[in-house]
Amino acid sequence: MIIGREGARATRPARSARWLLAALLLSTGCWSAAGPCAADGAGPHGLVLEVTVNTRPGLGALDPGIRTGAAVVKSYRLVNHGGADLHDVWVRDPGMPGAAIRCPGGRGRVPMLTGLHSLRCTATGVARPGAWIGEVRAVGQLHLVRASVQASARSGYAGVGAALALTETARVTGPDRAQIRYVLVNNGNRPVHGVRVTDPALAPARIVCAGGRPVVAHLAAGARAACTAEVRRAPGTYVSRGRADGSDLLRTLNPRGAPVPPPLLTARASARFTLRAPAPVVPVARRPVRPVAQVQRPRVERPAAAPPLAALLFPPTPPPPGIAAPGIAARGTAVPGIGVPGVLPPAPAVPEGVAPGVAPPEPAVPPAPAKGRSPASPPAAALTPAEAPETAVPPAAVPKEARSQPTLLRRLIREDHTPTSLGILAALFLILLPAAIAAAVFGSRRL
């Protein structure tokens, strides 16, 4: 029994040595292989990142580029060359701003990347003008050693293409014509070639651009050109619809990496204008011109001029009773046929047989009435003009202009041109005042 137990104890170290030798041989075979095996760790290059843009790897999409506004498709291939699993792997790409990166496990994130396996993430966006180059990064966590593993790769594309724009204005230059102005602008980053301007709505006879032709041969990036057209139409409202066609002669990449031929670049614009008919000419009816002799102008009564100073100092002698002053009618006598005072009545007719300037004979005095008879008034035909009863002119018949108004002149001179007491004092004052001033001046000189 004792011998058997000792033999068993002797065989145990031999078995342990054989297991240790097998483990060493297996480990040596794994490290000598071309790649890491499942039993090793992540290694210094355990995570690898590969990026393509429209199937072009890295920076291959910079030339010929992607047309501005077209689709950009990026593919991110993650490879785990290690035997250990990577957890929480995420991808960041600054060259695709605003684009969402989608992976099999979520949005921009892979929950676990198994060892010795790979997967692919994608992002889709719109090509922007200019070069967009950035460094893509992928980071994962290794739970066995509590460390992070990361990888990076450069990628990008160039957004190329011309952007043609057209604006137009209309200006009326006459009753039946207008001028249309077309302005071309290249808002892209590549030149435009062979831009032709047309207007199907108006079909003008000729559109003139630079060089006198309706075609702009070369329009650089950011440049502009102008074309004009003269239109003649009947009165009315019209709409101009301009169109510009050209090409930038660029071949670009589609999302599958195939070349795309240059498209036709088109720009449109419109403008409205109105041609108004000229106003009709209305003939002016001319009135017949009457001769100067037939034109009757209204008579304007001018106010009487103020009498001179001599008339104030030496008034004329009043006429004897019964004779009115020259140019003034007798008071209370209405001039037949004329309502304006101050105008002399017509002279009485001279009877036949009496020489001019000789007073006519006085009419015979009728005999006195006989006794016993009541005196009767003589017939109207026997009364002389002097004996005719005076007819008082009513105040309403005298115009307002002829009525006497209380003025300063009326206070100095009466209506019969005789000075009043105030007028005499004023005249004396005007005579004595200069004498007093002269005496004072000469007296001061003598002193």
pLDDT classification of 179: cutoffs 50, 70, 90: very high
Contact call for residues 65 and 160 (beta carbons, < 8 A): yes
Q: Is there a common fold for 47-160 and 164-275?
A: yes
- Edge-to-edge strands, sheet with 109-113: 61-67, 147-160, 130-142, 86-92, 109-113
DSSP character for 294?
G
The residue ranges of every structural domain in the chain are: 47-160, 164-275, 409-441
For residues 119 and 344, the model is more confident at 119
Residues recorded for the chain: 447
Per-residue pLDDT tens over the stretch 61-79? 999 999 999 999 999 999 9
Other C-beta atoms closer than 10 Å to the C-beta of 141 total: 15
Q: Is the pLDDT score of 41 beyond 90?
A: no
CATH code of the domain occupying 164-275: 2.60.40.10
Q: Is the pLDDT score of 127 beyond 90?
A: yes
The residue among 184, 188, 195 whose CA lies nearest residue 65 is 188
The residue among 365, 360, 358 whose CA lies nearest residue 383 is 365
Per-residue pLDDT tens over the stretch 136-176? 999 999 887 788 899 999 999 999 999 999 999 999 998 88
d(CA 35, CA 276): 89
In CATH, which of 2.30.29.30, 3.30.470.20, 3.90.1300.10, 2.60.40.10 is domain 47-160?
2.60.40.10
Per-residue pLDDT tens over the stretch 254-293? 999 999 999 999 999 999 999 988 777 767 666 666 665 5
Quick one: pLDDT at residue 123?
95
Quick one: pLDDT at residue 425?
84
Helix, strand and coil content of the chain, in percent to the nearest 5, comes to: 15, 35, 50
The residue among 78, 51, 265 whose CA lies nearest residue 157 is 51
